[in-house]
Structure 1
Amino acid sequence: MNATDRTPADLLHSALADDPSRPLVTYYDDATGERVELSVATFANWVAKTANLLQDEFSAHPGDRLALLLPAHWQTAVWVLACSSVGVVADLHGEAAGADLVVAGPDTLEEARACPGERVALSLRPLGGRFPEPPAGFVDYAVEVPGQGDRFAPYVPVGPDAPALALPDGDELTGAQTVERARADAAGRGLGPGSRLLSALPYAGWDGLSAGLLAPLAAGGSVVLAPRLERLDAASLEQRVENERVTHSAVPRNA
């Protein structure tokens, strides 16, 4: 965490410089039993590879819009930071027809076909696995991303006042505004360095994206992302909190 950070990508760079080995995103799928833990360094490597894919393979430019049609997932978090790295606007659950690129999961492929530009599909299988058969008209992310470079440098510097994030409620935030709101949320939740926030909120808007990635990142903490937490009974949830050293939580109000 650095007071001079002005974009979400800056926040990741500071986390990497501070302690690359600490956990940043721990993801649970309680429907399948999947658990994935990504250190700052591993997460940053995925972001760099994805940003290189955007910039070099898809010729994405600053200001392009990417419709991000994915659920709360560790790979969704990667795409948000990759977009910030390139200067592409991450349009959370945006209209595919008006986007320059689209990224979809198995449940949003038909919606994504309306995009006239590049279409990327994620299987969301454990460990970032491939589709058994790539969806027609889509690039399989898991096939393309491994060969990308492990370091990323934008061809055009990404300024803090450039559009960075478009939300389903119509709000559009610059990089600086995104960081400012994430820091405010972190302070409001009492997050600080070393905090572990358990989030069961969907990536359906700012609240879920902030709790599930941006606020912990801005605070120098980490997130335990568990969007299907309702599948756990009380004893299992208590064990999860203990095992993951959870210090804070964000769950749906009706949970």
Structure 2
Amino acid sequence: MNTTDRTPADLLRSALAGDAGRPLVTWYDDTTGGRVELSVATLANWVAKTANLLRDDLGAEPGDRLALLLPAHWQTAAWLLACASTRVIPVIGGDPGDADLVVAGPDRLEEARACRGERVALSLRPLGARFPEPPEGFLDYAVAVPGQGDVFVPDEDQQPGDAALVVDGIGWTAGQVVEDARVEAAEMGVGPGDRLLSRLEWNHRRGLFAGFWAPLAVGASVVLCRPGVPIGDEVLERRRETERVTRVVE
């Protein structure tokens, strides 16, 4: 955490400049028993590759609107930060027909076909695996992203006044995302070193800020449990102990 951070792109840079090896996002899929943990450095590598894909292969430009049709997931975190790196505006759950490009999970591909621009599909399978059969009319993210560069050099850094996010139909500038993330963290009592467990979806303001932006903004980390999947009290308590969770939001 750096109190001089003014944009989401700054937040990632500060996290890297700190302890790049610490866990940042841990993902549990209780339908498969899967667990994925990404350090700051690992997530930043996914962000760089995704940003290169966005700009160089998909031709996305600053100010373009990207309909983000993904659940709360570690790959969604990579897309959010890649958008910050390229100054593309992620519209959470946005109408693909009104977007310049769309990124969709396996259950929203038909909806995503309304986009007349580039379409990217994510299988959301364990370890970021590709689709068994490539979805027609889409670029398979798992096929396209591994070959991208590990370093992304922006044409121009994100600025606090840049449009940076749309969620719940409300737009945030880059500076407002950081400010609101810090407010959310303060309200939850989350600070540096905390481990926050979230079972909230990211398709609304509180779920997204509590489950991602707030921990990133204050030097905490997040344990994501796939939303909508029942977890017994015994499993949840064991997970809290194993992951050294200090805060829970549901």
Structure 1: 4+ residue segments shifted above 6 A: none
Does residue 137 of structure 1 match 2:144? no
Structure 2: which amino acid aligns with 1:207?
R
Instruction: Please tell me whether residue 68 in structure 1 is matched to residue 63 in structure 2.
Output: no
Q: Does residue 9 of the first structure (1) align with residue 46 of the second (2)?
A: no
In 1, Cα distance between the equivalents of 2:227 and 2:81? 23
How do residues 98-113 of structure 1 correspond to structure 2 at under 5 angstroms? Answer: 98-113=98-113
Please report the TM-score for the alignment, with normalisation by the length of structure 2: 0.98
Q: Which moved more, 1:153-162 or 1:21-30?
A: 153-162
**Counterpart in the other structure of 1:182:** 181
Alignment correspondent of 1:94: 94
TM-score, normalising length from structure 1?
0.96
Question: Aligned AA for 1:36?
Answer: V
Gaps of 5+ in 1: none
Residues 7 and 178 in structure 1, CA contact (< 8 A), matched pair in contact too: yes
Offset at 1:201?
A: 0.3
Query: Over residues 126-154 of structure 1, what are the superposed CA-to-partner deviations in whole Å (9 max), with x where a residue is unaligned?
Result: 00000011100000000000011111111
TM superposition shift of 1:36: 0.2
Shift of 1:69: 0.3
- Aligned residue in 2 for 1:156: 156
Q: Tell which deviates more after alignment, 1-10 or 17-26.
A: 1-10
Q: Is the 8 A contact 1:31 1:231 kept in 2?
A: no
CA apart distance, 1:4: 1.5
- SS of corresponding position for 2:193: coil
Shift of 1:193: 0.8
Provide the aligned C-alpha RMSD in A: 0.9
2:91–2:165 CA contact under 8 A, matched in 1:
yes
Does the 8 Å CA contact 1:62/1:158 hold for their aligned counterparts?
no
SS in structure 2 opposite 1:232? coil
Most deviating of 147-156 and 227-236:
227-236
| Cα contact 1:122–1:142 (8 A) shared by 2 | yes
For 2:35, the equivalent position in structure 1 comes to 35
User: Match of 1:247, as an amino acid?
Assistant: T
Distance 1:228-1:170 versus aligned 2 partners, 3 A rule: closer
Q: Report how far residue 182 of structure 1 moved.
A: 0.2
Counterpart CA distance in 2 for 1:54 and 1:228 is 27
User: Quick one: percent identity of the two aligned structures?
Assistant: 64
Distance (Å, rounded) in 2 between the aligned partners of 1:62 and 1:209: 22
